[in-house]
Amino acid sequence: MWKRRWPIAGAREKDADWRVDELYAFAETMGATIIKTSISRTVIDMNRDPSGASLYPGQATTELCPTITFDGEPLYKAGMEPSEAEIARRRERYLIPYHAAIAEELARLRRRHQNVVLYDAHSIRSHAPMLFAGALPIFNIGTNGGVTCAPHFEMAATARCAESGRAFVVNGRFKGGYITRHFGKPEAGVHAIQMELALRAYFDEPETLTPETWPRPMDEARAKETQATLRAILSDCIGLAEGKPQ
């Protein structure tokens, strides 16, 4: 008899892109198309290569269907990890349609515009020793070493982060996931940028995560400051795509 395999309650709440949809709610008013998923990354990580190949060879990371948290804690009871058949089922049911939706929207926009921008919004806890040492910078721009967008898009995003006076890095620990790398084709008019935010950019992060302390509500003042930078980045990206001088 086939058994459904679900992550351990509690652990699965640690590593979501918490409240990103709330933080970027303003984007729709700027004319952006928003594609999002409600599928937890502990079920399947939508920003991974469908083949399961690592995006960061030689570095610690989690799988297409993660079996551990970013702290290395198990997500499943022993022996209940997803089988290859279960991984394939999740890939076909969740990941492939999500990527297809992105491809279809990019194709629609390219029929109307010479250049389009795919801005992939993510967030992560500021401290995840398994993945990186110390505290992650607030803004983490990823363009896979500058190949997923034309240089002026990366430069504009970098300049806005520098203007904020807050910590940032370009192509540091997070260089862009599968979505940025796969769909970013500047030579074909599709410019992709990933923004990985440290969660402290818009809410408090307790030292110990418990069901009572996590996740936190947005800190309105902090979120407003962060949104000002993000709005400027998106505005610049739209202007550059439209060929407007900056």
Q: Give pLDDT tens digits for 111-134.
A: 999 999 999 999 999 999 999 999
Position 10 scores a pLDDT of: 64
Which CATH number goes with the domain that contains 98?
A: 3.40.630.40
CB burial string 198-215: b at 16+ within 10 A, e below? bbbbbbebeeebeeeebb
Range of the domain at 91: 11-241
For residue range 71-122, what is the model confidence (pLDDT) as tens digits? 999 999 999 999 999 999 999 999 999 999 999 999 999 999 999 999 999 9
The two counts, helices (H) then strands (E), for the chain are: 6, 4
What is the maximum span of the chain, computed from C-alpha positions, in angstroms?
A: 62
Position 14 scores a pLDDT of: 86
Is there a domain that residue 178 lies in? yes
In 10 A of CB 8, how many CB atoms?
Answer: 14
Position 208 scores a pLDDT of: 87
Q: In what order do the strands lie in the sheet with 139-142?
A: 116-124, 190-198, 139-142, 168-170
CA dihedral 178, 184, 185, 188 (to 10 degrees): 130
Least confident of 54-63, 98-107, 143-152: 54-63
Is there a domain that residue 2 lies in? no
Q: Please name the residue that has the structure tokens 């980045």.
A: 233
Question: Amino acid letter at 2?
Answer: W
What is the end-to-end Cα distance of the chain in Å, rounded? 61
Is there a domain that residue 231 lies in? yes
Average per-residue pLDDT for the chain = 93
Q: Report the pLDDT averaged over residues 226-231.
A: 98
Is there a domain that residue 1 lies in? no
* Counted domains in the chain: 1
